[in-house]
Structure 1
Amino acid sequence: MIRNKKYIYLLAFVAMVFVGCTEEYLETAPTDSISESTALSNEDNMYLVVNGLHRMMYGQNQLTGGESSRSGESHFIPMFDAVGGNIIHSSPGNGWMRSDLQWISHVNPNATTNFNLWFQRYHFIEVSNAIINRVSGGNFIETAKLNNVVGQAYAYRAWSYWRLVTTFSKGYLVGDPSTDPGVPLILNEGAPYEGAPRGTVEDVYTQIYTDIDMAINHLKNASAPEDKSHISLNAAYGIKARIALSKGDWKVAADNAALARSGYPLLDESGWMSGFNTVDLSEVIWGAQVIDTESNFFQSYFYYVAFSFNGSQNRSNPKLISKELYDRIPATDYRNKAWLPLAPNTNPAASNDQGGSYETDPNYDNAADFAAAKAAIIAEYGATSAHNTHPYMNVKFQLKNPGSTDPDDVIYMRSSEMVLIEAEAKAMLNDINGAQNALDILGSARDSGFDKTAFSTQTSLMDEIKWQRRVELWGEGFSYHDNIRWDEGLDQSNSGAAQVLYQDGFMQAKPSVNDNWIFKIPQKELDANPFLTEADQN
């Protein structure tokens, strides 16, 4: 099994450096000598270790052997939408994620993306194992704080295995989970780091369900979360809803989605259009409250998705919504303001060969209007004059300090997603009335002309729910796994994506008949794990 050689050091490092500790503790236990037993000796220390995982969710990779260029969910959220085809790149840019959207990276066992995703998730599992096993095997007195720590550890382990099995194995709903190979189940921690064989997909889901139920049981009797970076009871319900949705446990998904969103009201128009840059938004159930000194700057989430972030990825390559998707947004739906279909195509290197001037952009017929349209966008959204614009460009994501590289929060879970899970699950149960009512919660909040009765069959409901997910959750990392669950391939023919840029990512057959939807296991794992051979490769 690929392991961090400085595991004990890291437990101390995340506990002390990312969160801080008392002067006395720092003086008596320097970071290069803290033992695992000290780091896990009491609930206060374990709480700090869990805080380290919260930071690792978004910060630059701190693991020996990992790459800082793939920094937790800051990278993987937009990466999944690049592979899934929902975030469309307008030009080659500076190369970031080009191999992902071209379907080159995830099918390469030596790719950095695969390695970091696998490596970081198993690190979360290893740290969670250490906490869970230490508490279960020790003489700890149950307290609300200890329940908080253990509940979060179980939730992180469930979430990590779910991320792994849904990415490195065939989708539960499109394969044969009782025989399809899953991922290695590691429930112990520490030397000798022997690894494990691949369990079946069913085996892994069984463990995930056990873990998330344990998390919920502990969090019901836990102290209140410190902030939204922590996994709360609501977030654990939300994780369970996601797990159940991917498995086709429709009632479990619907019930837990409803529990997850309780107390998190949907945004109004001003909130929805404010930039999705803070966990303080009413809808946010779980997200990273980014600490300024721990930002990953040019590996940050907003570097990939926010138009006005002052980095070369955005200046040359504003991200687009699918033209086909956007053109379905009704005039009465305020989300149509989150993308700019008539933005001038100012980049001569734009992949659709229409960039550079009014002479190549079919939306403009004179230089003055072309220049004025760009200037208006730059002024309104706070970008620099060096930023290019493009038709259908995204302004859904905005920096608090536009034109800068300042860090902003990263959102992992919103109540809108939970509403859509509830609607989808009820539609799949053929509960037409229940699905209509759930869908109406979101639809009428976004669109003054929304009419739930227009969707009176399972087919029409699912078509609307799919469209709503792709619009509402654009850029939030769901499209890759959504396509697997729905068994839908990629066809970018009418999206505005350029085939010359997208190459293999322009068109892919559906997941049930196309194993390229399964990420390759890192070659380093096959080399290090004695229980795996080349025959175990996807």
Structure 2
Amino acid sequence: MRRILYILLAVTGLTACEKKLDLSPTQSISQENALLTEGDVKVTLIGAYGGLQAEALYGGDIQVMNELIGNSENIRFTGTFAGLADIHALEITTQNSFARDTWQGAYNTINRVNNVLSALDKVTTSADERNRIEGEALFIRGSLYFELVKLFAKTWGDGDNATNPGVPLILTRTEGVTPESYAPRSSVAQVYEQIKADLTRAESLLPASNGIYAASGAAAAMLSRVALMQGDYTAARDAANRVIESGEYELTGSFGDLWFTMIDNAGANPSEYVFSMTVTQQDGSNSMNTYFGASTGQAGTGGRGDCKILPAHIDKYEANDARGDYFQALGANFFTKKHLDLKGNVLVVRLAEMYLTRAEANLRLGTSVGATPLADVNIIRDRSNLPGLGTVALADILKERNLELAFEGQGLSDAKRTRSAWSGTAWNSKFLILPIPQREMDVNDKLVQNEAYL
């Protein structure tokens, strides 16, 4: 089973400056190949993880796009991929290959999940096994809808959530693509409700420990992100607290211990990783490494070196901050060391984020669930060799979050939810939203395009 996970079911080739179009996407499952046994269901779930692991999704492109969109303050992009260059310069078109592939990859993977969910009655070995399979499938679906609505729709609270178009909600398996298969965009509010329903049930069904697959802590961590995006600080605090108090995860002793999972740790995750995509010497890829990484001369490092980190970002760290020292100088350029490992696992969420979420939510609410905001912030500062703060304000927590999670795909979401400018661009700028891919608009007349691309 583990071996099958590493097989990427959506392989994408590269040209000099653009991706090749996948002409044969997996869109449906035929009646002849229907899920007839428990084994069929399990293999299809592994296929869903394979889709999730693909470059266009949690293989790294989702995180890369979230970092690059208009981020001229922290990153200088020098790559030759026109799609990413346009995303960085906010000159995105409806033909953008990265937006297209993420949209297509997400819906193909969601369809695999829907196939699994349609055949849960075939899982008969035990109730626990059925619960695990359902929970993992719902985690994947809920997480992907969350990523889609963040990338392709207005931010929660930017206007009327009940009328702002989100993304199409497809909740049943597609047996064949017909005109009736195409759905309109559900509202932002409807998409968020579905995300929360999927992740809440996933958390209730998943085991506390589940190897390299999604566990209950991963669902809780994603619920914490969702609630934080909505400004529901009670739910964000409580979900983050469940992850911390579960005892399943532990902060690493030093900031540097978080990275180089293949080079230094033989491919194993640090204790702090709540969910990640596994990469091996044989299978998988890490597009965070592809674009943020570079060869330093150390065995196992590599990457295109497209994303140079600007001195203006490095200057934000205090003296002696271990995070501020975690950059590699190559000639006149700087690169984050987080993504130098050519075969490093692709991080999705880790425990330090939960401490910072709990701190922020407790501060906003005037509560101390789990710990005081000051204690949580100082845990993170201590790990980075910084002195503890005597008092803490919201600005302190947001600064720690910005520096701790830099170049992990969370910066744009934090700017939008805190109503902060993003590299000089207003948080609610129409240009910080990706277009609905043109190929989708061409075949589905029920879709409406985002404002910047009309």
TM-score class, shorter-chain normalisation, is 0.7 to 0.9
Q: Which residue of 2 aligns with 1:383?
A: none
1:109 aligns with 2:94: yes
Map of 1:144-183 to 2, 5 A cutoff?
A: 144-183=128-167
Structure 1 pair 275–463 and aligned structure 2 pair: CA distance change class (3 A) = farther
Partner Cα separation in structure 2 for residue 389 and residue 535 of structure 1: 41
Structure 2 residue corresponding to 1:131, chosen from 116, 128, 131: 116
Match among 90, 95, 99 for residue 86 of structure 2: 99
1:199-214 paired onto structure 2 within 5 Å? 199-214=186-201
Partner residue of 2:233 out of 241, 250, 263: 250
TM-superposition CA deviations, 1:252-298 (whole Å, max 9, x none): 111111222332111122643753655521111111111322234xx
- Distance change in 2, residues 1:139/1:284 (3 Å): closer
**Compared CA separation, residues 489 and 17, structure 1 to 2 (3 A):** closer
Asked if 2 retains the 8 angstrom alpha-carbon contact of 1:443 and 1:450, the reply is yes
Query: CA 1:111 to 1:173, structure 2 compared with 1: closer, same or farther past 3 Å?
Result: same
Q: CA 1:532–1:127 in structure 2 vs 1: closer, same or farther (change >3 Å)?
A: same
CA distance in 2, matches of 1:166, 1:273: 26
- Normalised by the size of structure 2, how large is the TM-score? 0.82
Change (3 A) 1:425 1:95: same
Mapping 1:411-422, distance limit 5 Å: 411-422=347-358
* Structure 2 CA distance for partners of 1:18 and 1:210, relative to 1, 3 Å: same
Q: 1:45 aligns with which of 40, 43, 49?
A: 40
Which residue in 1 is equivalent to 2:439?
A: 524
Contact 2:278 2:284 in 1 (8 A): no
Q: What is the aligned partner in structure 2 of residue 82 from structure 1?
A: 68
Distance in structure 2 (CA, Å) of the matches to 1:152 and 1:407: 25
1:508-523 to 2 correspondence within 5 Å?
508-511=425-428, 514-523=429-438
Aligned residue among 252, 267, 271 for 2:252: 267
| Structure 1 residues 258 and 311, CA gap change in structure 2 (3 angstroms) | same
Match of 1:305 among 292, 296, 303: 292
How much does 1:43 deviate? Answer: 3.0
Cα distance change of structure 1 residues 154 and 448 upon mapping to structure 2, 3 Å threshold: same
Distance in 2, Cα, partners of 1:473 & 1:481 = 12
Match runs of 1:308-457 below 5 Å: 308=295, 313-314=304-305, 317=306, 319-320=308-309, 322-339=310-327, 343=329, 388-390=330-332, 392-399=334-341, 406-431=342-367, 434-451=372-389, 453-455=390-392
- Report the aligned-residue RMSD: 3.1
DSSP-derived class of the 1:454 partner: coil
Identity of aligned pairs, percent? Answer: 24
Is contact 2:70-2:90 (8 Å) kept?
no
Displacement of 1:93: 4.0
Deviations 1:202-254 (Å, cap 9, x if unpaired)? Answer: 1111111111112112214x8x52x32x1111111111111111111111111
The one-letter code matched in structure 1 to 2:304 is Q
Q: Matches of 1:36 and 1:215 in 2, distance apart?
A: 28
Q: CA deviation at 1:474?
A: 1.6
TM-score, length-scaled by structure 1: 0.70
Count of matched residue pairs: 417
Structure 2 counterpart of 1:231, which letter? A
1:102 to 1:279, Cα distance in 2 relative to 1, 3 A: farther
Structure number with greater Rg is: 1
For the Cα contact (< 8 Å) 1:87–1:475, is it kept in 2? no
Hey, what's the Cα distance between the residues in 2 that align with 1:162 and 1:423?
A: 23
Residue 346 of structure 1: aligned partner: none
Q: Distance in 1 between matches of 2:278 and 2:5?
A: 17
Q: What are the ranges of 5 or more consecutive residues in structure 2 without an aligned counterpart?
A: 10-25
* Contact map agreement 1:308 1:398 (CA 8 A) in 2: yes
Structure 1 residues 521, 233: closer, same or farther in 2, change over 3 A? same
| Distance in structure 1 (CA, Å) of the matches to 2:201 and 2:190 | 17
Q: Deviations over 1:149-205 (max 9, x none)?
A: 111111111111111112211111333212211111111112355221222111111
Conservation of the 8 A alpha-carbon contact between 1:40 and 1:46 = yes
Q: 1:139 to 1:476 in 2, by over 3 A?
A: closer
Q: Distance in 2 between matches of 1:304 and 1:534?
A: 29
- Provide structure 1 residue ranges, at least 5 long, that are not aligned to the other structure: 1-13, 20-30, 61-69, 344-387, 400-405, 456-460, 492-506
Q: Secondary structure at the match of 1:293?
A: coil
Residues 416, 442 of structure 1: 8 Å contact kept = yes
